[in-house]
Copies of this chain bind each other. A is one copy, B any other.
Amino acid sequence: MTQLELPTLEDVAKAALVSTATVSRCLNTPERVAAKTLDKVLEAVKTLGYSPNFGARALAAKRTNTFGAVIPTMDNAIFARGLQAFQEELVKNGATLLVASSSYDPEIEEEQIRALVARGADGLLLIGTERSPDIYQFIEDRQIPMVICWAYSNEPTRSYVGFDNYQATFELAERAIKFGHRKFGFISAHQAGNDRARERIRGVIAALNEHNIDASSMDIIESHYSIAAGGECFKKIMETPTPPTIVMCGNDVLAAGAAKMGHEMGLNIPNEVSITGFDNLELATILEPALTTVHVPHREMGKLAAGVLLQNVNDRSYRQHIKLPTSIVEGSSLGPVS
Contacts and interface: CB of A to CB of B under 8 A. Distances in A.
A87 B115 contact: no
Contacts of A51: 114, 117-118
A143 B256 contact: no
A269 interface: no
B75 A142 contact: no
Interface string A159-195: 0000000000000000000000000000000000000
A226 interface: yes
Assembly stoichiometry (copies): 2
A52 B117 CA distance: 10
Interface string A29-65: 0000000000000000000010111111111101110
Contacts of A256: 286
A76 interface: yes
Interface stretch (A16-24, A94-102, A124-132, A200-208): A94-102
A158 interface: no
Given A87-B101, A143-B2, A118 B76 contact: no
Interface stretch (A77-85, A147-155, A234-242, A328-336): A77-85
Contact of A285 (B52, B60, B74, B228): B228
Contact of A74 (B1, B84, B117, B120): B84
A70 B207 CA distance: 45
A301 B273 CA distance: 40
Nearest to A117: B51
Nearest to A283: B283
Interface stretch (A209-217, A243-251, A257-265, A319-327): A257-265
A1 B138 contact: no
Nearest to A98: B98
B288 A263 contact: yes
14 contacts: A1-B63, A51-B118, A55-B55, A55-B57, A55-B60, A55-B64, A66-B119, A73-B84, A74-B84, A76-B77, A77-B80, A227-B283, A253-B282, A288-B288
